[in-house]
Amino acid sequence: MFTGIIEEVGKIVNISHHAKSSKITIGAKKIFDDLALGDSISTNGVCLTVSDFTHSQFTADIMNESLSRSTLGSSRVGHLVNLERAISANGRFGGHIVSGHIDGTGKIINIKKEDNATWYTIGAHKDIMNYIVEKGSIAIDGISLTVADLTSSSFKVSIIPHTISNTILNDKKIGDKVNLENDLFAKYIEKFILNDNERITKTKLTQFGF
């Protein structure tokens, strides 16, 4: 699990794309203090497993599911990526629960400066919008953010200068794609409600005192 609080921005130094997989090597500085083989690193919101590393680079394999649902399939050498190590049991939980399992991509359709904040409007497919609520949580390229407004096909987030200057949002432009992960709890709630054997009905709510 991750928190969506980005530790640093890394750079892709090598990537090899195959028919249904990729291998990626990323250069960074801060995340190597306690890194071990098999550790998880959120890379633009995608949970990757470290298969090899040095004091300044780590390598990971990317499976087809991650390539098809995220922007990593179109990544190239030199591209910047948001990085976050998995949260430790005694760590501070500064963002929200982020699994690193991308639901799909969205597209930046507007960027607007407003005093010390920057508003990003993200367009997304209805399958993703169905799980987004106003003031709810959303992870954009692995960044924990709060939904400020939404329509049936897009949502807005207001981002402070610190987040912009310490993530790859600083380099994003209108038309760029971003990785999106919905709030995990929304998907569990939907499954419980739609499960025929455990369907929530007025009768069942009354039965339990609601």
Question: Using one digit for the tens of pLDDT, what is the confidence trace for 150-189?
Answer: 999 999 999 999 999 999 999 999 999 999 999 888 777 7
d(CA 172, CA 163): 13
Which tens digit of pLDDT belongs to each residue from 126-136?
999 999 999 99
Token reading at 8 = 């640093």
pLDDT of the residue at 158: 96
Which tens digit of pLDDT belongs to each residue from 49-77?
999 999 999 999 999 999 999 999 999 99
Q: Which three-class secondary structure state does DSSP give residue 40?
A: strand
Q: Which amino acid is at 91?
A: G
Q: Does residue 123 carry a pLDDT above 80?
A: yes
Token reading at 159 = 């981002």
pLDDT of the residue at 111: 97
| Predicted TM-score of the model (pTM) | 0.88
d(CA 192, CA 138): 21
pLDDT of the residue at 105: 97
